[in-house]
Chains A and B, each alone.
Chain A
Amino acid sequence: DAGVIQSPRHEVTEMGQEVTLRCKPISGHNSLFWYRQTMMRGLELLIYFNNNVPIDDSGMPEDRFSAKMPNASFSTLKIQPSEPRDSAVYFCASTPDSSYEQYFGPGTRLTVT
């Protein structure tokens, strides 16, 4: 069975550039989460969706970050413009309504120079 799929796995970009991270949740999972992980701040919830609708975006750092979920099988997290402090590993996770277990993707390691 395919797990949560994220792309790209690694992204190196220059400050000011737009970055788009992609996620395909596990089929049949109704909730999707975007997290950011750094050594300093740990694993932070940025936003989560239920049935494609954003439920809580209180963790989104600022207007430079935006997330969409146009359908049940695809979500994007966009950073525009990117800054060096955005460097982190970004995880996507999904959860079925029948369980609270979160299934994480392999993450996207973002480096902004």
Chain B
Amino acid sequence: RKEVEQDPGPFNVPEGATVAFNCTYSNSASQSFFWYRQDCRKEPKLLMSVYSSGNEDGRFTAQLNRASQYISLLIRDSKLSDSATYLCAVMGNTGGFKTIFGAGTRLFVKA
């Protein structure tokens, strides 16, 4: 079993739709969680951190469920510019900054 697993998609949605991605992790002692966005042939960039209480940034909402060991990302009112690959990332509890990334979920938003 991979340490961090995501549905690879692709998700094809029309503009304005709401789309949700889930990501599961295997290490129950993991401490920190993130969503990164990666555009085609570009490097990953941090989209948002994920906090236990959940957090929102504009049209984006991230949630953490420690009991079930998954994190989610909700995108509301999706835009063409949201088309990208979304990577979840999990940082362990072994000290230091070792971060494991999921394989990513591809999103295509269509006009």
Using a CB–CB cutoff of 8 Å, the interface residues on chain A facing chain B are 31, 33, 35, 41-43, 45, 48, 50, 55-56, 91, 95, 100-102, 104-107
CA distance A29 to B97 in the complex (A): 12
Contact A107-B91, Cβ < 8 Å, known A31-B97, A48-B96, A102-B99? no
Q: List 28 A-B contacts (CB under 8 A).
A: A33-B99, A41-B103, A42-B101, A42-B102, A42-B103, A43-B87, A43-B101, A43-B103, A43-B104, A45-B98, A45-B100, A48-B97, A48-B98, A50-B96, A50-B97, A55-B98, A56-B96, A56-B98, A91-B43, A95-B97, A100-B32, A100-B34, A100-B49, A100-B97, A101-B49, A102-B36, A102-B44, A106-B43
Q: Does B1 contact A (CB under 8 A)?
A: no
A-B interface contact total, Cβ < 8 Å: 53
CA distance A33 to B89 in the complex (A): 14
B98 touches A101 (CB 8 A): no
Q: Does B46 contact A (CB under 8 A)?
A: yes
B44 touches A104 (CB 8 A): yes
A43 touches B44 (CB 8 A): yes
Q: Which of B45, B49, B98 has the most CB of A within 10 A?
A: B98
The 6 A-B residue pairs with the shortest CB-CB distance, nearest first, are A42-B103, A104-B43, A43-B101, A101-B46, A31-B97, A55-B96
CA distance A56 to B102 in the complex (A): 19
B43 touches A107 (CB 8 A): yes
